[in-house]
Amino acid sequence: MPDVGEGLTEAEILKWYVRAGDTVTDGQVVCEVETAKAAVELPIPYDGVVHELVYAEGTTVDVGQVIISVAVGGDDTAEPVAAAPGAPEAAAPGQAEAAEETEEEAPKGRQPVLVGYGVAESSTKRRPRKTPPPAGDRARSASPVPPAQPSPAAPAPTASAPAAPASGLLPGQAAAPPVNGHGDRPGGPRPLAKPPVRKLAKDLGVDLAEITPTGAGGIITRDDVHAAAAPAEEPVPAESAVSGEAVAPEPSAAADPAARETRIPVKGVRKATAAAMVGSAFTAPHVTEFITLDVTRTMKLVGELKDDPDLAGLRVNPLLLIAKALLVAIRRNPGINASWDEERQEIVQKHYVNLGIAAATPRGLIVPNVKDAHDKTLPELADALGELVATAREGRTSPADMRGGTVTITNVGVFGIDTGTPILNPGEAAILAVGAIKLRPWVHKGKVKPRHVTTLGLSFDHRLVDGELGSRVLADTAAVLENPKRLITWA
């Protein structure tokens, strides 16, 4: 499982596009995974035949774990190599036997780039393993990625370089222990464990040096840490131990049609959203203000724009003009477009607007944003919003599309809701909730008439936005929607 960036430590396998026995080519997409940010398709950096899919769909796998093995010789009889899609290629079988006793530079193979993240090259040299392999072992594949520091011990796989294990063995096969147990370091042997497992051990107060590893190549797994922390607990099933992660017990009521409760695992986007919302709600002091306004003129303008040939084929709706009205209000009150730097205790003023649009998708709530929305004309903004919404509905929003937002709009009106008190997207100073637009009795020119009315709710971070600034932004947004001619006069 490759690291797709932003320090993510795990991903869930959503779908396999290949099966054991299928032929794959270098660069072919073999599976789709979901991280805490978005769904990502992973390519395979090999030509060969799929030997084994190590994990089933729906399994959450740590970065660095082997998820597929491929026979690179071109047929099923070839020696299989274990690999993660997007990881550097493994050397051909038999190269390890040809290694000499003196240091030699590791071979430089093609290092694939996954979703925009490159692989840094290193000039570090490696020394071949001096311990003779046990009789009957298969030929070991040499990894093209050298260890971070020279050592006579076998290089240990790390989360930052999820290459094939040095032994080239598949999960479940016996592997010779590394030299000096786990590899020497000053002060004693260093246990092999990935960063998430080390953090788990630290949280549980478990000493990794006292744990007997069960993972391939002598790597300590999550199950090993849990077993050391609570030895009296029931052993984890064999299929869970292979995955190297803590697995929640299956609810016994799942097969009972009359069950009164159903437990749904929270992971991926939903898990990240939950953590972000808790952090935002209890970090930024929220203030929410509301305004109810007549948007009849805006609705009339929307109808006229739909018939405009210059906007043919574009998505024109009330949200487009609401977004434009908010951008005008931000231009008149730039202090709202800022963020709070907790470390330096400073307000960071943004001179650009990346306008986020909260979108409800089958995988949970995501907030992609339109980059540099302040510089876009109305047709350009309509095109950007239409593409953003379509991509989100298809579940193809990339992590880059969700980074760097400055202000967000959440349209709860599509669900018939009048308004709400939205929670800030982490790192932003304001979020605008748009309520449902309904015909209501309204006093217009001294008479009660049916008019299109809506309610806006603006939440802002009171550390950097005081009541006056927040009120001005909300009032200016409403003023533009009440009289759309201000889009021209205030531009």
Quick one: CA dihedral 198, 203, 206, 212, positive or negative?
Answer: negative
> What's the rounded Cα separation, in Å, for the pair 127 and 152?
6
Contact 26, 90 (CB under 8 A): no
Instruction: Write the CA distances from 229 to 35, 191, 208, 222, 238, integer angstroms.
Output: 28, 16, 11, 11, 19
Instruction: Give strand ranges (E) for 116-169.
Output: 125-126
By DSSP bridging, strand 430-434 and strand 407-411 are parallel
Produce one character per residue of 29-62: b if its CB has 16 or more CB atoms within 10 Å, e if not: ebbbbbbbbbbbbbbbbbbbbbbbbbbeeebbbb
Q: Retrieve residue 159's tokens.
A: 């989360």
Catalytic member of 286, 444, 452, 462: 462
Of 128, 211, 139, 148, residue with least CA distance to 173: 139
Element (H, E) at 440: strand 438-444
Q: Retrieve residue 338's tokens.
A: 């800022």
462 is catalytic: yes
Residues acting as catalytic residues: 462
